Chain A
């Protein structure tokens, strides 16, 4: 089929345990290039678990199933290799790292990805110019440049910083875990603008969110509802609106 889009991410029958407890229970998900998928679902249903497993967090045990990224086994890659291959996780709770400078981290991250592709390191001056441009999109203050990673950032600033990193790294697949939580209305628009900036036929985005509000600004191609460790229902944007009205019990009831 000539219109077939490249499959970026394919998750099949994924089962994941944490400390012996099964959290993901046969999850399937296929994300093609150019698509935006939203994942919604009740607290504790396993959304962050999925995001973390995709990024390679060591605290989770994959007991069955497979995950491929551009056709390659993602699960056997170390977290840093996944990042360099173009997988980006925007954390639900970004950690503060006092003493590690923001710009330094950005530059080290970009250079690590370039090195993996056999490219030279970025020119420090050009790089700073590029970062400043993206900071403008995110409406971030210059003082941010000299601060430690997320150090003393407000909740909303941390989320914006995640998106800034995404903009700088230009990943093929961005997984954003509740990047919209805790944002005021203006910040939500800024974050949405950031996500839309990167939207392109080659890239894809998985948005984990509790609110359909974000989806007004970043219109998803597919909406999934994750309940008790598996996708209970998928649909288009209308599903998000319906969830807003009827809550999760409705889906959960059907899935049970």
Chain B
């Protein structure tokens, strides 16, 4: 019997050879990423923070980037534009200038044409899928916000390829200089009901006093499979708010690692994951308090319906030097189907005394008292359940400060919830 690990390693090596046969830019960096990946291997379900992810059948994928040439993409495949945001579109990881708006001066550039593609940050063992991205990605978004400037950018990553023809590697590198502000929307969508393989990577650096609001929406088609790895490093007084919404895909795994490396740096993650049908939605978030008086907050709301599996693993590490750190976690999972599964796991590692931590994690079904209250007012069971699910998500959605985006997010969530109610009726 062949061991799947070796099958996967040789598959990756083969595909890398094919993908780089014609040369290309940044080959050294890509080769290094491949070597690191081959040395470490991709995570397996026996790895500590990967037991809920769907890692099956990776060796059957085609890792070569999906062929370019998906020609005319209907603009209808793209979400409605958001006022005030410059929109930049990537198709299967490649920049698509024809679909993109004017780039804000000096802030955005496609990685494929920049002189020096940024090399890899130091990645932890849970960020190995980022190495896969680095080895295969040929393009991406480079975002640079100069000191004290502010920018609004919407990046759309559109998947148009079946996994059998190749993979999509969305890539994002963000550098926000001293005191600069960035509002960033990152959306992952599918052109049609395809089964794509998408493996994204985002790396952010927030310099002193930089402020970033980052909205991430994963709305891929129901047959897609997605991995993504986000790493952020925050200098002194930097503030990073990440709103992440995951509703799409057959199986998706998101890995978020934020390092609070400067004094008083602050991060907030508001994560929503909805799973219906047999979806697997998994997120691992690691916050590393490495400096004094740093702050972090994790807010998770997940709903698993039908036979879906939803998992959130939130780990907070407070290093010995991080006196005065403040960390809060509110993690809640809702079980909305008899065969659904939800796993919510808070992890805390504290190596210093003077810290404030408040951590709450719960999973359960819809509150029977609330449900009866609504029924007793004449609402149908269906409406009452939907309302309560909605209310459950409220905390994690209300922080979206852009009204139009919030509306779109609410529509996406409503569609996902509705879908699942229909399913339960069948």
Contacts and interface: CB of A to CB of B under 8 A. Distances in A.
Interface of A: 55-59, 78-80, 82-84, 88-89, 91, 94-95, 97-100, 104-105, 108-109, 112-113, 116, 148-149, 165, 169
Contacts of A108: 377, 379, 383, 387
B351 interface: no
Contacts of A112: 377-380, 383
Contacts of A94: 373
Interface in B371-426: 372-381, 383-384, 387-388, 390-395
B378 A97 contact: no
Contacts of B376: 55-56, 79-80, 82-83, 88-89, 91
Most buried by A among B367, B377, B387: B377
Given A83-B377, A112-B380, A99 B370 contact: no
B358 interface: no
A55 B376 CA distance: 7
11 contacts: A58-B368, A80-B380, A82-B376, A83-B376, A83-B378, A88-B376, A105-B377, A108-B377, A109-B379, A165-B377, A169-B377
A12 B98 CA distance: 76
Contacts of A113: 378
A97 B370 contact: yes
B2 interface: no
Given A80-B379, A95-B369, A112-B379, A105 B390 contact: no
A205 to B, nearest CB: 16
B375 A148 contact: no
A109 B388 contact: no
B391 A83 contact: no
A109 B377 contact: yes
Contacts, number: 76
A55 B375 CA distance: 9
B373 A97 contact: yes
B373 A80 contact: no
B377 A148 contact: no
A97 B381 contact: no
B391 A97 contact: yes
A84 B375 contact: no
B372 A105 contact: no
Contacts of B379: 80, 105, 108-109, 112
Nearest to A79: B375
Interface residues of B, number: 24
Contacts of A88: 376
B366 to A, nearest CB: 11
Most buried by B among A78, A84, A100: A100
A133 B393 CA distance: 32
Contacts of A82: 376
Nearest to B395: A99
Most buried by A among B367, B383, B384, B388: B384
Contacts of A78: 375, 381
A95 B373 contact: yes
Given A97-B388, A99-B391, A58 B372 contact: yes
B372 A79 contact: yes
Contacts of B395: 99
B375 A83 contact: yes
B293 to A, nearest CB: 31
A57 B377 CA distance: 12
Most buried by A among B374, B390, B392, B395: B374
A57 B372 contact: yes
B372 A99 contact: no
A112 to B, nearest CB: 4
Contacts of A80: 375-376, 378-381, 384
B387 A100 contact: yes
Given A55-B376, A83-B377, 19 more contacts: A57-B372, A78-B375, A80-B375, A80-B379, A80-B381, A91-B373, A91-B376, A94-B373, A95-B373, A99-B392, A99-B394, A100-B388, A100-B390, A104-B387, A108-B383, A112-B379, A112-B380, A112-B383, A165-B377
